[in-house]
Amino acid sequence: MFQGLGMDDSSEGTGQGGPARDDATLPPQDVGRRRVLMLGAAAATTVMSVRPALAQTSASVLNCTIPVPDGPNAGKMVGPDGALVPAGTPGAFPGGRSFKGEDVKNALRGRSLPGTAYSESQAYLNYIRRLQYGRAGFTCYASLQMPR
Instruction: Give me the domain span that covers residue 19.
Output: 3-52
The pLDDT of residue 114 is: 92
The 10 Å Cβ neighbour count of residue 143 is 16
Taking the C-alpha atoms of residue 4 and residue 14, their distance in angstroms, rounded to an integer, is: 18
Taking the C-alpha atoms of residue 122 and residue 113, their distance in angstroms, rounded to an integer, is: 8
Please report whether residue 111 resides in a domain: yes
The 10 Å Cβ neighbour count of residue 74 is 10
Q: Are residues 42 and 75 in the same domain?
A: no
The pLDDT of residue 120 is: 93
Q: Are residues 39 and 69 in the same domain?
A: no
pTM of whole model > 0.85?
no
The pLDDT of residue 95 is: 83
Radius of gyration of the chain (CA): 29
The pLDDT of residue 126 is: 94
Please report whether residue 100 resides in a domain: yes
pLDDT tens-digit profile, the chain (148 residues): 445 544 444 444 444 555 555 556 656 666 677 777 676 666 655 544 444 444 444 556 678 888 888 666 767 889 999 999 988 889 999 888 889 988 999 998 889 999 999 999 999 999 999 988 888 888 888 888 776 5
Q: Are residues 74 and 47 in the same domain?
A: no
The torsion angle over the Cα atoms of residues 103, 105, 108 and 111, rounded to 10 degrees, is: -40
Please report whether residue 58 resides in a domain: no
